[in-house]
Structure 1
Amino acid sequence: MNDERIDLYKQFERINCIDPSYYEKFRVKRGLRNADGTGVLAGMTNISNVHGYLLSDGDKLPDEGSLRLRGYEITDLLGEESSTTRFSFEEVAYLLLLGELPTRDQLDTFIAAIDAQRELPDGFTASMILKDTPPDIMNVLARSILLLYAYDPDAEDRSPEHEINTAISLMSRVPRMMVLTYYAQQARYHNGSMIMHRFIPGQSTAETILSMLRPNREFTPEEARMLDVMLCLHAEHGGGNNSTFTTRVMSSADTDPYSVYAAAICSLKGKKHGGANHQVRAMQADIKQHVANWEDDDEVADYLAKIVNRQAYDKSGLVYGMGHAVYTLSDPRAIICKKYAKKLAEGTEFEAEYRLLESIERLAPEVILRERGTKKDMCANIDMYSGFVYSMMGIPEDLYTPLFACARMAGWAAHRFEEIVAGKRIIRPAYKSTRSGSRPYTPISER
């Protein structure tokens, strides 16, 4: 298109620019954030608590991070670190959706309900996934969820039974749609093979994903356990993150669940949200390429300084994988992910890269302080190690954010349920107009 006669192309920035001073003048909370970085309180939740700092007399004080789901520490919910036979994601999903930890019988019934929903409608794969496959899997997932609305005769039902059934069906189907879409993408854009493994009844979500993804269907118990841990870490992270807030906003408008979850996936795709893992891996690859000796702290720090000073990588000045909107001293998800990453990397060709990531995590705050002269409490976030873990498992990068979506379906559903029951009002913040008066209208013939 790009017709030079259309002025909007030339004046896009001017038309859409707002004087930054207005935000301070009218005390606008940009991004719904306070000046000190804390979030504007927009609601209440009983689902999770993302703790990263303390407030004392109005001051923000750094603190060790913790993530509690329905009051339980995430570390406790993961179970024994050495276990390779117990899978926790389904138990965490049950806790999020139904509020309490299940008994053995309750969990078995829940797992059976998930297992029973993996089948897709007749012709759905051919018409929705294999046809006109776009290059990004997240777009296919959003489109597919929207189209599943057409196969649900009670799609507009807001009853608890229908809400729970819909959430369970999508928790079951999204992983399968993700793998099918990945192979459709490979076949269309990369001359790859279209592999369509059937799911195996009785497998956990993590086992199902690996079984459908691997061409030979083989995986180790340790790999399945590792993926299960990653799903647990991504399942829920408070009501204020962008995709969950999107879920809340959409649900407050009283729209159907399919529209809500599709919108949440579109939000999660964003590079400043779930898609950030791609930025992290790209930066890490750049550092690996330009730092000759990964064991040399001075050389690593020198290149980080170039990144911070906008002289290297994407010249944004950001060290991706460092810093978080809530966590200050530590991100509990990153600590857990790092622990498992170390265990996976030991004695393998990935061990040197693991030590490099440790160095980036350790040196980045020092470099930022030295180069910018300001101290900000900064810790590694989960993206510092999540993509690395997936790469060690041979999981393609195109699946990093879709895997996030598979896990977060449980958290989104829990927040939708809570918004339906407790919210009761459409979310509608105010926007201040920069124009103080009206403009005289001029007929088109006189302009």
Structure 2
Amino acid sequence: MKTLKTIYMESEKENYIDASLYPRYRVKAGLRNDNGTGVKVGLTKICDVVGYQYIHGKKINVDGKLIYRGYSVQDLINDPNFAQLGNYERIAFLLIYGKLPNAEELSLFTQELLKKRNLCNIDPKYQTTSILNGVQIEVLKLYGQDPNPDSDTLEERMLKGLSILAQIPLITFSFFTGQQICEYPLPNKSLAENILVMARGSNIYTHQEARVMDTLLVLHADHGGGNNSTFANVVISSTGTDIYSCISAAIGSLKGPRHGGASTKVYQQMKEILKVTKHSRDPELMKNIAYQLLNKDFFDKSGLIYGIGHAIYTISDPRCQCIKAECKKLAKEKGQLDTFYTLEAFENAAIDVMKKEKGVTACANVDFYSGFAYSMLGISESLFTPLFCISRTAGWIAHHLENRQSNRKLIRPANVYVGSLKKLEDDNHENDHSI
């Protein structure tokens, strides 16, 4: 007996597109050039991601740089002015407004966020198996609560964006705990500190724990206009629709395992490596595990070494370097330096194996140490990607506003039709409509 499912499975060839057709029609699959670089689809002043340069037509790998509004993220994190907590709030201001805030401006910003954190109508008990799915729904519900949700002035869109930025953490932890959370437990403290308290149910934390969380938020705040969730946000923004729809779509993109879920995979891989090595740092053992991963003989048998390699960064990922330095300090505080050094040994071995087996220059990416950082902080795996979402919201808002101000064109690329041309009389579907 036929069902719609079996009919669809039988028609698989109708939906299959031969991969060889992409170069034939000069279509850039995944919006990637043949040399692995991204197809240029826009202009931005918000963020730049640098991993290579072209000199006289030749691609030259360089040390990675992540630039927020002209500032190196490493310089920002290492600056003495960022020694205290609350750096994420400063970076969110920088991304949205284009400059680092002075004390008065930062106070105005944080007070505005505090005013918008009075959300008391979250229903975390309706059925959803995903925190991010719940966040998407609640962000869309904010549209219904807004008396003028479709206002298209930049100032109104900015204020609506701040409302989303302020409320997403409360929405996230309402779904995580299953309890409605209407305000922050520590209203006069940083977002990083409040996250630790809400995630662990305790207001006891060390400065270094909060520093690690603050650093993770800063490093995930933006990553250029080409990453999948930001690009999804910008594509939808170009239609002129409301900011709630745009941010909700970006969350849907981030939820995908090929985008926001990488730190979870790296953490699961790390646990399996530690089981085998028992904290050994033997280089040959580490290389053997890396070869097994590539040969689909270890962990999830995907042939991937999670946490190693990046689409843009080649020699180094600046985000990885920043969080690695903070992780080492926290590992010392937690008595987990053995685990840190084991991971570092595997990082070095995996990079060497990738060079020998794949012939590519690869580096550890930000996810390599992020899962370890979250585990030392006592953060549940189910929060890894939602925390990414909380952080990236600042970047999404910034790109949304930039698009609405500077690029009013509807983003509408083209596809090449590669199906056949048919005549109705050629179809044999028994569509006899005679009486």
Using structure 2 for the length normalisation, give the TM-score: 0.93
Are the counterparts in 2 of residues 310 and 317 from structure 1 also a CA contact under 8 Å?
yes
Going from structure 1 to structure 2, the CA distance change for 1:222 and 1:258 (only over 3 Å counts) comes to same
- Letter paired with 1:335: Q
Matches within 5 A, 1:37-436: 37-80=36-79, 85-121=84-120, 124-125=121-122, 128-132=123-127, 134-184=128-178, 198-199=183-184, 200-292=186-278, 294-346=280-332, 348-370=334-356, 372=357, 374-435=358-419
State how far apart, in whole Å, the 2-side matches of 1:354 and 1:12 are.
51
- Letter paired with 1:135: T
Deviation at 1:419, TM superposition (A): 0.7
State how far apart, in whole Å, the 2-side matches of 1:214 and 1:293 are.
27
Are the counterparts in 2 of residues 176 and 209 from structure 1 also a CA contact under 8 Å?
no
- Letter paired with 2:165: M
- Letter paired with 1:109: L
- Letter paired with 1:445: E
Are the counterparts in 2 of residues 53 and 327 from structure 1 also a CA contact under 8 Å?
yes
Q: Which residue of 1 aligns with 2:17?
A: 18
- Letter paired with 1:130: K
Deviation at 1:64, TM superposition (A): 0.6
Of residues 21-30 and 73-82 in structure 1, the stretch that sits farther from structure 2 once superposed is 73-82
| Identity among equivalent pairs (%) | 37
Deviation at 1:264, TM superposition (A): 0.3
Deviations 1:265-317 (A, max 9, x none): 11011111111111111111222223345222211211211110112211211
Are the counterparts in 2 of residues 33 and 40 from structure 1 also a CA contact under 8 Å?
yes
State how far apart, in whole Å, the 2-side matches of 1:406 and 1:15 are.
40
State how far apart, in whole Å, the 1-side matches of 2:241 and 2:4 are.
40
- Letter paired with 1:62: N
State how far apart, in whole Å, the 2-side matches of 1:446 and 1:411 are.
53
State how far apart, in whole Å, the 2-side matches of 1:205 and 1:103 are.
19
State how far apart, in whole Å, the 2-side matches of 1:197 and 1:212 are.
12
Using structure 1 for the length normalisation, give the TM-score: 0.91
Q: Which residue of 426, 430, 434 corresponds with 1:445?
A: 430
* Other structure's SS at 1:346 match: helix
State how far apart, in whole Å, the 2-side matches of 1:349 and 1:284 are.
18
Are the counterparts in 2 of residues 196 and 212 from structure 1 also a CA contact under 8 Å?
no
* Other structure's SS at 2:260 match: coil
* Other structure's SS at 1:445 match: coil
Going from structure 1 to structure 2, the CA distance change for 1:161 and 1:293 (only over 3 Å counts) comes to closer
Are the counterparts in 2 of residues 85 and 221 from structure 1 also a CA contact under 8 Å?
no
Deviation at 1:409, TM superposition (A): 0.7
Deviation at 1:78, TM superposition (A): 2.1
Of residues 70-79 and 101-110 in structure 1, the stretch that sits farther from structure 2 once superposed is 70-79
- Letter paired with 1:181: F
Going from structure 1 to structure 2, the CA distance change for 1:11 and 1:367 (only over 3 Å counts) comes to farther
Going from structure 1 to structure 2, the CA distance change for 1:377 and 1:424 (only over 3 Å counts) comes to same
State how far apart, in whole Å, the 2-side matches of 1:401 and 1:180 are.
15
- Letter paired with 1:405: C
State how far apart, in whole Å, the 1-side matches of 2:99 and 2:312 are.
26
State how far apart, in whole Å, the 2-side matches of 1:195 and 1:224 are.
24
Of residues 406-415 and 274-283 in structure 1, the stretch that sits farther from structure 2 once superposed is 274-283
State how far apart, in whole Å, the 1-side matches of 2:423 and 2:297 are.
46
State how far apart, in whole Å, the 1-side matches of 2:195 and 2:231 are.
27
* Other structure's SS at 1:129 match: coil
State how far apart, in whole Å, the 1-side matches of 2:150 and 2:385 are.
29
- Letter paired with 2:42: G
Deviation at 1:197, TM superposition (A): 8.2
State how far apart, in whole Å, the 2-side matches of 1:288 and 1:435 are.
50
Are the counterparts in 2 of residues 210 and 224 from structure 1 also a CA contact under 8 Å?
yes
State how far apart, in whole Å, the 2-side matches of 1:332 and 1:89 are.
17
Deviation at 1:11, TM superposition (A): 3.1
Are the counterparts in 1 of residues 279 and 338 from structure 2 also a CA contact under 8 Å?
no
State how far apart, in whole Å, the 1-side matches of 2:235 and 2:272 are.
38
Are the counterparts in 2 of residues 305 and 367 from structure 1 also a CA contact under 8 Å?
yes
Deviation at 1:80, TM superposition (A): 4.3
Q: Which residue of 2 aligns with 1:7?
A: 6
Going from structure 1 to structure 2, the CA distance change for 1:197 and 1:291 (only over 3 Å counts) comes to farther
Deviations 1:293-345 (A, max 9, x none): 52222112112111101122112111000111111111100000100011111
State how far apart, in whole Å, the 1-side matches of 2:428 and 2:295 are.
52
Give unmatched runs, 5+ long, in structure 1.
185-193
Going from structure 1 to structure 2, the CA distance change for 1:5 and 1:109 (only over 3 Å counts) comes to closer
Aligned length: 430
Deviation at 1:195, TM superposition (A): 8.4
- Letter paired with 1:20: A
Give the 4+ runs in structure 1 shifted more than 6 A.
none
Give unmatched runs, 5+ long, in structure 2.
none
Are the counterparts in 1 of residues 212 and 327 from structure 2 also a CA contact under 8 Å?
no
